[in-house]
Amino acid sequence: MYFKKFKVSDCVVYDIWRNNRDDLYNNNFETVFNQQLLSSEYKLNPGDKLIVNCCNEGLGPDDLKQTIATFEKYDFRVLFNAHITVPLSYRYETFVDHFSAHCDFVRFNQSLDVEWEKLIPARNFISLNRRASEGRCRLAKKLLDTFDHNTFFISCGSQPDPFLDSRDNLHKIMHPYTLPILLDGEVGGMNEQHNHTDTSWFSCPINVVTETSNQTDADSWHEIFITEKSLKAFLYRQLPVFWAVPGTVQLLRDIGFDLYDDVIDHSYDNIVNEEQRLQKVISTLDNLISNNDVLNLRKRLWNRIEKNLNHLIDLSKQHATKFENYIIELSQ
């Protein structure tokens, strides 16, 4: 359903994420929207309130620019989970920790019978890159070039992709390594993506998080937003290093997470140039491993790790109430 009403509001809420991503960037969106509205049970007249729900991957103000004209006949307001860094001409709210309840991954992980504090590290770090993109391939290549392959787990391009063989740009970036790089085979559905059970993955003390947003990837979102990828590092009791757009680390601090700044140099988060930031991410990871007893790193920081975990659990429990409150605020 593209349109719905919540019990907390009489406003019609439009779930824009359900559209094909291409529809947001072509001139056909208004036609698509009107067809969806005609097939719904709701009627919207010019001037009626309309809440546009952008809470899912990546939809920020830049992504919405080409669709705004469709909504301007209504008294529209927007709920983002992207971080807003520019002034906007319309009303909006931001639910930046929306992904704390994504696919119920927190509850699933909490149901596992794992003695987390007793896990013996299988490798120093893990980096999971299901979808292959230019930015992710550049990171994977740097990791493979820099670190002993026996000291980390990595995947890249494990999402089923019938066109991967023909994407010469990705294969050139990865040379001499080949795609896909698989850990446990191809990873397709939501259950495979989010309900991990491999304790050897969990045991890695460091997680090199590849966020969905990327400054230059043509097939990625470009604005700051937090997905389950970042939050899983806290759930898996790992220390995170992020390959993401600038400002991502600061946003995680702002919503209450300890980023272990006394142990990890996250200054890459302030570097705008993407190539320079990638170099700094690699040197940060190298220094973290070289200057610490990695096998005992989690043990030393365990109380702080558990505090982050509990904060994530609290955010996931508060999700439904927060969402309703944002809808109420926007409807007024």
Q: State the CATH number of the domain containing residue 218.
A: 3.40.50
pLDDT in tens, 213-235: 888 887 777 889 999 999 999 99
> How many CB atoms lie under 10 A from the CB of residue 163?
6
Residue 298, in any domain of the structure: yes
Mean pLDDT of 34-59: 93
- Among 198, 142, 152, CA closest to 174: 142
**Co-location of 75 and 128 in the same domain:** no
Kindly state whether residue 328 falls inside one of the protein's structural domains: no
Q: Indicate whether 169 and 234 sit together in one domain.
A: yes
What pLDDT sits at residue 243?
97
Q: Where are the alpha helices (DSSP H) in the chain?
A: 29-38, 61-64, 68-71, 105-110, 134-146, 168-174, 190-194, 199-203, 228-235, 248-254, 274-290, 294-300, 302-331
Q: What is the pTM of this model?
A: 0.94
Tokens of 195: 């309900």
Q: CA–CA separation, 330 vs 332, rounded Å?
A: 6
**In contact, 67 and 197? CB cutoff 8 Å:** no
143 versus 185: the higher-pLDDT residue is 143
Determine, yes or no, domain membership for 86: yes
Mean pLDDT of the chain: 94
Give residue 187's pLDDT: 76
Give the chain's count of helices (H) and strands (E).
13, 9
Domain end (from 94, 118, 134): 94
pLDDT at 290: 96
In this structure, the answer to whether residues 201 and 311 fall within a common structural domain is yes
Q: Would residue 305 count as lying in a domain?
A: yes
pLDDT tens for 74-85 read: 999 999 999 998
The DSSP code for 56 is S
The Cα–Cα gap between 164 and 248 comes to: 29
Q: Does residue 180 have a cis peptide bond before it, meaning omega lies within 30 degrees of 0?
A: yes
pLDDT value of residue 295: 86
82 and 114 both lie in a single domain: no
In a domain, 164, yes or no: yes
Structural domain boundaries, residue 79: 3-94
CA distance 166 to 271: 33
State the average pLDDT over residues 42-52: 96
Do 218 and 125 sit in the same domain of this protein?
yes
The answer to whether residue 323 sits within a structural domain is no
* Contact predicate 8/328, CB 8 Å: yes
**Is 137 found in the same domain as 70?**
no
Rounded to the nearest angstrom, the gap between the alpha carbon of residue 327 and the centroid of all alpha carbons in its chain is 22
Query: What confidence tens digit (pLDDT) does each residue in 10-25 have?
Result: 899 999 989 987 888 7
Q: Which residues lie across from 261 on neighbouring strands?
A: none
- Tell me: pLDDT of 62 over 80: yes
pLDDT value at residue 320? 96
Give the phi and the psi of residue 182 in degrees, each rounded to 5. -115, 145
Are residue 182 and residue 45 in the same domain, yes or no?
Answer: no
Looking at the fold, whether 132 and 267 belong to one and the same domain comes out as: yes
Q: Which residues is 51 bridged to in the sheet?
A: 13, 77
Q: How many angstroms from the chain centroid is the CA of residue 87?
A: 23
Residue 315 has pLDDT above 80, yes or no: yes
Bigger pLDDT: 221 or 73? 73
Peptide bond into 46 cis (omega under 30): no
Last residue of a domain, which of 59, 94, 129?
94
Percentage of residues of the chain with pLDDT beyond 70: 99
Question: pLDDT tens for residues 230-275?
Answer: 999 999 999 999 999 999 999 999 999 999 999 999 999 999 999 9
How far apart CA 254 and CA 268 sit, in angstroms, is 17
Indicate whether 327 belongs to any domain. Answer: no
Q: Residue 293 region, left (φ>0) first, then alpha (ψ -120 to 50), else beta?
A: beta
Pairing label, strands 125-129, 75-80: unpaired
Classify residue 322: in a domain, yes or no. no
Q: How far apart are CA 108 and CA 87, in angstroms?
A: 38
